[in-house]
Structure formats: structure tokens, C-alpha cells
Amino acid sequence: MTVSNVRPVKKPWLKKYLREYWQLYVLIAPALIYFAVFLYYPMYGLQIAFKDFRAPKGIFGSEWVGLKHFIRFVTEPWFRILLNNTLTLSFYSLVARFPIPLFLSFLINEVRSKPFQKSVQMITYAPHFLSNVIVCGMVVMFFRIDVGIVNNVIRSFGGTATDFLIKPAYFKHFYVWTGVWQSAGWGTIIYLASLSAVDQEVIEASIIDGCNRYQKIIHIDFPTIQPTIVINLLLSLGAVLTSDTEKIILLQREVTKMASETFGSFLYNQGIINGQFSYTAAAGMFQNVVNLIVLSLFNWIARRLGETALW
């Protein structure tokens, strides 16, 4: 046998890395176990979307019905209403909620007084830690027709009190702007972290060249955090058929259902309240598949337009 015919022995790379970096694998193990047990393992139950699930028979014993529940869902009279309400709330939330943390982070970053900067951050972060129950309770109290502070102010100016909570036209504004109030400060965290990576030498050079704060934000700060902005926008677009179900249920009234019922609240009512597990599993799968398609589409567009994308 000649030397040229001798093949090098390949060492098992996995065993090598496990031995060399075992501390890192131990560190990430709890997260992997969590995802495996609570997210991936339960996915075997998605097959009930294609079955007529009966609890006594179990998942495997239930009758296979194919796409029956999917067809029923998309041909439901409620489907167009659910789709319209979900898209309306999602895009309204995106337009209102996405730019505000960005602008707020630029403003906070320009503050030179550290105590004032920390105070503003603390005040704007605080609403994020309030539960939806508390936030919706505050909305109900403020806008009550009898003792609500908003209607009291309207009466003091000679106006007529209005029960805002039963007006379908106001529901989307309550939903979106309470979300803006809750998420604005918290959303600045990642942008402020990105802004800390701005090269200080470049900033000093721009000041010497006579660049003002507005020009610095446009030509230095914004390009630096542009990849972060694109990633956040892609993640938001990937949840286009997702809504805050808890908040919708808390703010929803019977007279506002036509304007407030979304995929999330519909799945809760049909699945948890009415026990239609196979039907809601099919509807939930439809919702997630559409979200995945939309995310993949916009990720492809972002990849074609620039180098920043999720994958």
C-alpha cells in the first residue's frame, strides 16, 4: 500500500467538541430541555387537526377525517370577519407600536444627564410589568360612563357622557394604544443596546465637522442600528395573524364582538369553552402556517434588498 492511498482517520467531531466545550453544553442544556419538553414534544398532538378527536378514544384511536376541519374553518361565515379584524388590529398595532420605541430610544440616547436618563427609562419601562388584567381594569375604570374620569371631564366641559366600552369603533384604539403604552419603554432596550455600539470616534469627528444632533441620528445612529430595526420588523410581520388574546377577551363586550373577535379569541371560545379541539387545532395550524409564509416572504425580500435577514 502506497502512502497516497492511505486515508486520514476522521476523528469524531461531536465527541471532541463535547469534551472540549462541555461547560457550554451544560449551560445551554436547560434551554434545550425546556424547548424539547414543552414545545417540540407536544407537537405530536397536532395530528388531532386531521382527526375527529374524542377524549375517550385518545389521539391515536380517534377517526381520521383529513382536511375536514380546515375546510370547515375557511368556509365558516365568521372567517372573513376574523381575518379582517385580526389583520386590522395587527397592522394598526404595527404602525403605532413599531416606530415609537425607535424614536424614544434616540431621544433617551441624546440625554446627557444620567439621572434624568435613568428616570425616563424607569418610568417608560414600568408599564411593561403590569398585567393585562390591571391595564384593562384601568381602561374600564377611566372610561366608565357613570364615574369614569374621562366622562367626568367631558361633563365638566358641558359635553354628553359616552359609554366608550360598548362602541365597536373605539375597541381597536383601546387595544392598540394600551399596547403602545405597555411596550414603548421596554422596546427601547434592544435599540439602546445597539446604539451603545456606535463608534465614539466617529461621533467626535462629526461634531468637529459641525454635524448637529439631527444629522448625527440620521447619518450615524440610524445606519448602525438598521440591522436591528430590520430584524424586529421581520419578527413583527411574522406575527401578522397573532393578537393579544387575553387583552381582547378582557376588553371585549357582546356588542363589540363584530369588531373585536380575532383568531385568538375565536380559538379560545371554540376550543376551551366549547371543547371543539380538532376544529380549533386546525384553525390554529392554519394561523401559524400563514404566519410562517408571511415571515418567509418578507425575510426573502429583506435578503434581496440587503444583507440583513433572519436566515
Three cell numbers at 283?
A: 384553525
Cell 416572504 appears where? 297
Note whether 18 and 126 are same-domain residues: no
Q: Domain boundary at 47, 66, 85, which? A: 66
Note whether 57 and 195 are same-domain residues: no
Q: In this structure, what DSSP letter does residue 113 have?
A: -
Q: pLDDT of 232-279, one tens digit each?
A: 998 888 888 888 899 999 999 989 999 999 999 998 988 888 888 999
Note whether 19 and 108 are same-domain residues: no
- Number of separate domains in the chain: 2
CATH code of 208's domain: 1.10.3720.10
Q: Is 144 a member of any domain?
A: no
Q: Is 151 a member of any domain?
A: no
What pLDDT does 70 receive? 93
Q: Is 298 a member of any domain?
A: yes
Q: Quote the domain boundaries for residue 54.
A: 9-66
Q: Is 15 a member of any domain?
A: yes
Q: Is 160 a member of any domain?
A: no
- 207 or 49, higher pLDDT: 49
Q: Domain boundary at 66, 97, 114, which? A: 66
Q: pLDDT of 135-167, one tens digit each?
A: 999 999 999 998 889 999 999 999 999 999 999
CB atoms within 10 A of CB 96: 15
Average model confidence (pLDDT) across the chain: 88
What pLDDT does 153 receive? 93
Note whether 123 and 217 are same-domain residues: yes
Note whether 115 and 246 are same-domain residues: yes
Cα gap 142→137, rounded to integer Å: 9
Q: Is 187 a member of any domain?
A: yes
Q: What is the dihedral of CA 104, 107, 113, 119, to 10 degrees?
A: -10
Cα gap 124→132, rounded to integer Å: 16
DSSP alpha helix (H) spans, 238-276: 245-251, 257-260, 263-267
What pLDDT does 152 receive? 93
What pLDDT does 8 receive? 54
pTM assigned to the model: 0.84
Q: Is 177 a member of any domain?
A: no
What pLDDT does 217 receive? 87
Q: pLDDT of 170-203, one tens digit each?
A: 999 999 999 999 999 998 998 998 888 888 888 8
Q: Is 138 a member of any domain?
A: no
Note whether 94 and 220 are same-domain residues: yes
Note whether 98 and 201 are same-domain residues: yes
Note whether 203 and 267 are same-domain residues: yes
Note whether 54 and 189 are same-domain residues: no
Q: pLDDT of 83-114, one tens digit each?
A: 999 999 999 999 999 999 999 999 998 888 88
Note whether 62 and 83 are same-domain residues: no
